[in-house]
Amino acid sequence: MNAPRMSEQEVLAMMAEAFSETSPLTPSMRREDIDGWDSMGALMLMAELDERFGLHLDAEESRAMQVVSDLFAYLRRHGVMDD
């Protein structure tokens, strides 16, 4: 399956939607600084990744993500974002 490619801005928008964030996200933002990046937000993000790309982010991988750019790295490993 060829996953669609996303830019950093598209990923930031997807994350903001999953986390119901109205403020812009940046790659260096920490998890604890994003109110919506709680357990429900993480589940929403996991569902979005599954629906859009067929990626199955597990709970352990999700908990290990501490900054927005950690998701970028995950998506690059799975061929969704360019290096």
Per-residue pLDDT of the chain (83 residues; tens, 9 = 90+): 455 689 999 999 999 999 999 999 999 999 999 999 999 999 999 999 999 999 999 999 999 999 999 999 999 999 999 76
Confidence at residue 31, expressed as pLDDT on a 0 to 100 scale: 96
Reduced 3-state DSSP string for 59-72? HHHHHHCCEHHHHH
Confidence at residue 49, expressed as pLDDT on a 0 to 100 scale: 95
Q: What share of the chain is helix, strand, coil (3-state, %, to 5)?
A: 55, 0, 45
**pTM score, two decimals?**
0.89
Confidence at residue 65, expressed as pLDDT on a 0 to 100 scale: 96
Which tokens in the block code for residue 2?
């060829």
Q: 81: phi > 0 → left, psi -120 to 50 → alpha, else beta; which?
A: beta
Domains present along the chain, CATH in parentheses: 8-77 (1.10.1200.10)
